[in-house]
Amino acid sequence: MSTIVFIDTRGNKIPKAAQEAVTYASQLAGGPVTAVTFGDGKDLETLGANGAGKVIVARQVTTLDSQQLTRLVVDVATKEGATTIVSVSDATGKAVAPRVAARLKAGHVAGALGLPVDGKFLRNVFSGKAKAAVEVTSAARVISLMPNSVPIANTGGSAVVEEFQGDLGPVRITLKEVRKAGTGIPLPEAELVVSAGRGMKGPEHWGPVEELATLLGAATACSRPVADMHWRPHHEHVGQTGVAIRPNLYIAIGISGAIQHLAGVNQSKVICVINKDPEAPFFKAADYGIVGDAFEVLPKLIEAAKKLNAERWAAPRGCHNATPPRTTPPRTPIFTARSRVAWRRSSCASSGSLTATPTRGLTRSYSPRCMATVACRSSSVVSRPRPSPSRWRTSSRRVPLPTTCSRT
């Protein structure tokens, strides 16, 4: 039983989601897998570091022609005798995976969140309000992985790249023109997202939102009315009818937290909400909440981010975590009693570098590009030991946090 993974590698850089899918497929298979791709992708041999033993590329397919791509995947799966086909739950994967499943009479897990436990895959249902554990009982299975679900493996090594030899049928779609939606970090791939809503009052006030995003190395997003009113481009609209994202950190500024908005962002690992209305529904879904006027809070966050960046780059070269920046609790943000509600929702024992636990004066790395200081003044603060400098020195970029904590 072999496993293949279908990925979209068009462009100059292999997308993060493609590397995640290869990593996931090789973990599922317990060894190297065959990656199937198309178009002009470069450096395909580097997928070997993520777990691909071989990459089969159909250079002749340059557009998202789902029928040709379905033929490609089915052809490779048949030749390789693959019974597991992994793809990414993105636009390309969503167009191809169900077709492949139908052709192979395979069960399809759409939007798997990780490796199966007891043979069951978890996936979101009802816009992320619940999770379903699904088991595939057919001989073949197609698994579409949600982006940002697994850390990318980097084991070194190189994959063998082969050109696809075979008939993919007539070309029905020709590419006329490519217009780039934006030059920044693509939203589905972003580990950090700074998002704003109607609370920003108008497009002329987006400067600070963009500045904070740039300082954090984050992508920008917005609520639907903001895109509808043409304050921001439509590709930034997140939610039920927009892009669904799963960043490590989602900062929502002046967004009420309507259910349709939450549907696209509630899978974010940490949610920070800034809203002047303490009753805004978004606070119920938040891990951190700042009750305040965005026009007062944002400049302070920008100031803090600039300070942290300056300290970070002042650290010895090649070792950004060498010295944890000395931090004093900033005057803002102040976490109100509401953050206590949010805190209880969050997991105490979250592992890895990300945790929803409020910490006092602790500077942490949310991603290789961002440092964040979190400080609280309210009685809901959980005080925990600060990681020793040696821990920062010896760790890789992400600092594991203690998993034990107390609640007040």
Ligand X SMILES: Cc1cc2nc3c(=O)[nH]c(=O)nc-3n(C[C@H](O)[C@H](O)[C@H](O)COP(=O)(O)OP(=O)(O)OC[C@H]3O[C@@H](n4cnc5c(N)ncnc54)[C@H](O)[C@@H]3O)c2cc1C
C-alpha 309: how far from its chain's center?
22
CB of 330 to ligand X, least distance (A): 18
CB closer to ligand X, 206 vs 295: 295
Per-residue DSSP letter, 7: -
333 scored as a contact of ligand X (CB under 6 A): no
**How many whole angstroms separate alpha carbon 56 and alpha carbon 80?**
11
228 scored as a contact of ligand X (CB under 6 A): no
What residues numbered 285-324 form the site for ligand X, per CB under 6 A? 293-295
Are 16 and 152 contacting, i.e. CB atoms less than 8 angstroms apart?
Answer: yes
Q: Which of 54, 123, 141, 261 binds ligand X (CB under 6 A)?
A: 261
240 scored as a contact of ligand X (CB under 6 A): yes
The alpha carbon dihedral of 84, 86, 89, 92 has a sign of negative
**From the CB of residue 214, how many other CB atoms can be counted at a distance below 10 Å?**
14
276 scored as a contact of ligand X (CB under 6 A): yes
278 scored as a contact of ligand X (CB under 6 A): no
Q: Which of 138, 154, 155, 241 binds ligand X (CB under 6 A)?
A: 241
Q: Which of 48, 53, 188, 254 binds ligand X (CB under 6 A)?
A: 254
Are 59 and 38 contacting, i.e. CB atoms less than 8 angstroms apart?
Answer: yes
CB closer to ligand X, 248 vs 256: 256
**How many whole angstroms separate alpha carbon 251 and alpha carbon 271?**
6
CB of 334 to ligand X, least distance (A): 14
Q: Which of 39, 186, 217, 225 binds ligand X (CB under 6 A)?
A: 225
CB closer to ligand X, 153 vs 341: 341
CB of 201 to ligand X, least distance (A): 7
**How many whole angstroms separate alpha carbon 215 and alpha carbon 380?**
29
Instruction: Give the pairing of strands 370-374 and 362-367.
Output: antiparallel
Number of residues this chain uses to bind ligand X (CB under 6 A): 26
Q: Which of 15, 247, 264, 387 binds ligand X (CB under 6 A)?
A: 264
Q: Which of 79, 277, 314, 351 binds ligand X (CB under 6 A)?
A: 277
**How many whole angstroms separate alpha carbon 373 and alpha carbon 210?**
19
Of 14-22, 63-71, 217-225, 382-390, the window that binds ligand X (rule: CB under 6 A) is 217-225
Instruction: Give CA separation, 151 vs 20, 27, 334, 340, in Å.
Output: 7, 11, 32, 30
197 scored as a contact of ligand X (CB under 6 A): yes
Q: Which of 15, 199, 208, 247 binds ligand X (CB under 6 A)?
A: 199
Peptide bond into 368 cis (omega under 30): no
Closest CA to 37 of 55, 22, 53, 51: 55
CB closer to ligand X, 291 vs 372: 291
**How many whole angstroms separate alpha carbon 55 and alpha carbon 37?**
7
Are 237 and 223 contacting, i.e. CB atoms less than 8 angstroms apart?
Answer: yes
Are 97 and 72 contacting, i.e. CB atoms less than 8 angstroms apart?
Answer: no
What residues numbered 117-146 form the site for ligand X, per CB under 6 A? none
Q: Which of 53, 93, 111, 242 binds ligand X (CB under 6 A)?
A: 242
Place of tokens 């088991």: 135
361 scored as a contact of ligand X (CB under 6 A): no
Per-residue DSSP letter, 373: E
CB closer to ligand X, 51 vs 264: 264
CB closer to ligand X, 73 vs 294: 294
* Residues near ligand X (CB under 6 A): 197-199, 223-226, 239-242, 254-256, 258, 260-261, 264, 274-277, 280, 293-295
